[in-house]
């Protein structure tokens, strides 16, 4: 029994380390990026979409670290709101601006559903959220912002 518990904690710990690495890696790439403001915002949104996907995956485990996952979603919500403001300030004529803004808004909508699904452990919703997030990540990649 102890080894099962130890394995579970190690799995959750490894997932949390991965999420933190992605989040911090996104910060480092933001600082080092030489792209436009829009490209940098797209990179950060992409990073948060990936974090949200990992949260959805972790929430499907037998004993998910719900409080930690909610904290990660709080951080993602903050970053998405900041990037929404930045993208909104970019002139509307800029290529991909409206597409990225739409993806930010969709990500924010999904985040609300994800938060509820994590709390209620709605496995079906968590699975469909991961699929939607994967689609959003692919669209950001297609815009060349990763």
State the residue range of the domain holding 93: 2-142
Query: Where in 1-146 does DSSP place strands (E)?
Result: none
Cα dihedral 88, 94, 96, 102, rounded to 10, equals 20
d(CA 140, CA 58): 23
Average pLDDT in the chain: 86
- Average pLDDT estimate for 28-45: 76
- Burial (CB < 10 A; 0-12, 13-18, 19+), residue 73, is buried
What six digits make up the tokens of 24?
């911090």
Query: Would you place residue 23 in the very low, low, confident or very high pLDDT band (cuts 50, 70, 90)?
Result: low
- Token digits of residue 83: 């990037």
Q: How confident is the model over 12-34, as a mean pLDDT?
A: 52
Measured distance CA(103)–CA(101) in Å, rounded: 5
- How does pLDDT run across 50-67, given as a tens digit for each residue? 999 999 999 999 999 999
Confidence at residue 4, expressed as pLDDT on a 0 to 100 scale: 63
Q: By CB neighbour count within 10 A (0-12 exposed, 13-18 middle, 19+ buried), where does 142 fall? A: exposed
Q: What is the pLDDT, as a whole number, of residue 31?
A: 46
Taking residues 134-140, report their average pLDDT.
97
> Rounded to whole angstroms, how far apart are CA atoms 54 and 102?
22
Tens of pLDDT along 87-127? 999 998 899 999 999 999 999 999 999 999 999 999 999 99
Structure tokens at 142: 């297609």
How much of the chain, in percent, has pLDDT values that exceed 70? 77
- Rank 7-16, 21-30, 115-124 by mean pLDDT and report only the highest: 115-124
Q: Which helix (H) or strand (E) holds 63?
A: none
How many domains would you assign to the chain? 1
């Amino acid at each position: 029994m102890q080894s099962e518990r130890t394995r579970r904690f190690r799995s959750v710990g490894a997932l949390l380390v991965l999420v933190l690495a992605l989040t911090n890696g996104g910060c480092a790439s933001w600082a080092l990026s030489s792209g436009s403001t829009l490209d940098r915002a797209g990179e950060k949104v992409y990073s948060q979409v990936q974090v949200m996907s990992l949260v959805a995956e972790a929430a499907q485990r037998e004993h998910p670290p719900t409080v930690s996952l909610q904290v990660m979603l709080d951080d993602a919500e903050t970053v998405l709101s900041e990037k929404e403001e930045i993208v909104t300030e970019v002139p509307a004529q800029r290529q991909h601006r409206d597409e990225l803004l739409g993806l930010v808004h969709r990500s924010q909508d999904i985040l609300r559903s994800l938060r509820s699904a994590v709390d209620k452990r709605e496995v079906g919703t968590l699975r469909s959220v991961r699929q939607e997030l994967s689609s959003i990540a692919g669209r950001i990649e297609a815009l060349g912002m990763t």
